[in-house]
Structure 1
Amino acid sequence: MGLDGRLPALTGKVGARHVARAADATGESEAWVTERLRLYAPLFDLDLDLDDAS
């Protein structure tokens, strides 16, 4: 997953490192980003692997 400005912003496996980068890029907390990802994961077929450091 890369935050390169191209859509979709996230695809596939999303790890804790991705959450940290997204939080930094948006100015939101990691908890906020995580909750939003949990909400939208089923819609966008995201695989949340937040225990992983990837």
Structure 2
Amino acid sequence: MPDLIPILGYADEAIIVLFVLRSVVRRTGLDTIRRHWPGSDDGFTALCRLTGLG
């Protein structure tokens, strides 16, 4: 969707990013992601919530 439509322009990109994150976490495993996670514990918790895993 073009960014001319204020909400939908960003929503499609967020959905694609969410789909890719979920796919990566499912393929590699949550333990592997946690081991290489450079961010904070709160950020990792947010990732788990967004991907619906963990």
Q: Please state which structure has a larger fraction of its residues in strand.
A: 1
Q: What TM-score, normalized by structure 1, do the two folds share?
A: 0.31
Between structure 1 and structure 2, the one with the greater Rg is: 2
As a proportion of its length, which structure holds more helix?
A: 2
- The answer to which structure, 1 or 2, has the higher relative contact order (CA under 8 A, 6+ apart) is 1
